[in-house]
Amino acid sequence: MHMKKLLFVMLWISSFCAAQEGGIYKYSALSDTLADTLGSANVSISYVDSVFRFIESQGYILDFEDCNTCKSRAHIMARVIEKNFPDAVVGKIWLVADCRRLSKFDEYKYKPHVLLEHKKFCNNWVYHVAPVIISVTDTFVIDPATQNAPVTLRKWASKLIPTGGSALVVIKRPEYFIYPESNELFEDELVNWSDTDDKILDTDYSRSIDEMTRAKLGLIEPWKMKNLKRELEELVR
């Protein structure tokens, strides 16, 4: 995949804390931004909805019921959106529980750790990640695993942070596969995510495809694994 050099603009000023239905979240000022005008990002709500419906229709391959493959699923979804909807400005949004941020390690030594959750069977998430489409009116999250339609950043985050919890929102370029971490804690004050670090990139999608295939089929049906890998590869090529 060609590495995009564009950075994204957010519609919020700097960073903020917002009270939600559950806990609170803070928007990271270290998110990627775009200094230029949005131009082609002036897409309609119906366009964003068509993106969501297309991604949703790939559920038989992308398996939105799986609670533990969000980084691989989001990586593939972002590529599929870029490939099939060229008018969309695409990024990825990470929501990371505060208790797993490196900068808050000392604060949470003796404080209850409240992780993210969705529904009864998806809980204790350190983080969740999904593609976003950034328009001149808002930032829309494309996440059929947790939503029935495209939703704003605010609504998406509010559904994943339990009461009493808090989290950090960071939006980055879509080529990043996972965030930088140290001792399994998110390096949340790292300004630049290296685009040469193989640990946080998956430029050929092999890692994301392999994780999704193994999560869905395990090792018991090799021929089905081969077919699923082929279908996933067709989505991103």
How do residues 34-43 score in pLDDT, each as one tens digit? 544 445 567 8
* SS3 category, 234: helix
Reported as a single tens digit per residue, the pLDDT across 116-159 is 999 878 989 999 999 999 988 889 999 999 999 999 999 999 99
Closest CA to 133 of 74, 189, 177: 74
Q: Mind listing the pLDDT tens digit for each residue in 182-211?
A: 999 999 999 889 877 788 999 999 999 999
Calpha distance 209→178 (Å, rounded)? 14
Distance between CA atoms of residues 134 and 141, nearest Å: 9
Cα–Cα distance for residue pair 231/212, rounded to 1 Å: 12
pTM of this structure: 0.85
Rg over alpha carbons for the chain, rounded to the nearest Å, is 17
Tokens of 217: 């089929």
pLDDT digits (tens, 9 = 90+) for 85-99: 998 999 999 999 999
At 55-64, the pLDDT tens digits run: 999 999 999 9
Domain 17-175 adopts which CATH fold? C8orf32 fold (3.10.620)
**231-to-59, 65, 73, 159 alpha-carbon distances in Å:** 12, 18, 13, 31
The ranges assigned to domains in the chain are: 17-175
